[in-house]
Structure 1
Amino acid sequence: MFEFDQYLGFLAFLTIATIGFWLMIFLVSFIVPYWIGGSIMEMLKEKKEAKRKKREELNA
């Protein structure tokens, strides 16, 4: 059915495909939400700081 070289190639393909699959699962479930959440928090901090500066300018 398979020669040994073809068998090794098939195993290499399965290994690479499996690693890619789990990497995508990891990125989509952990890294991307962490990145988006951090960006949103940073944006809110900047808006809050801008409001505070504007309020200080009006009071001063």
Structure 2
Amino acid sequence: MFDFDQYLGFLAFLTILTLGFWLMIFLITFVIPYWIGGSLMERMKEIRDEKKAKREASTH
């Protein structure tokens, strides 16, 4: 059915496919939500600081 070279190539293909699948699962479930959450928190801090600076500037 398979020569030894074809068998090694098939195993390499399956390995790469499996690694890619688990990498995508990891990125979708952990990395991307962490990245988005962190950027939203940073943006909220910036907005809060801008409002605080405006308030301080208007009182002085």
* TM bracket (short chain): over 0.9
- Distance in 1 of aligned mates of 2:24 and 2:37: 19
Any unmatched runs of 5+ in structure 1?
none
Aligned-pair CA distance for 1:54: 0.1
> What does residue 59 of structure 1 align with?
59
> What does residue 9 of structure 1 align with?
9
The one-letter amino acid paired with 2:44 is L
Any unmatched runs of 5+ in structure 2?
none
Q: Where in structure 1 do 4 or more consecutive aligned residues deviate above 2 Å?
A: none
- Distance in 2 of aligned mates of 1:5 and 1:39: 48
For this pair of structures, how many residues does the alignment match?
60
TM norm structure 2: 0.99
Aligned-pair CA distance for 1:53: 0.2
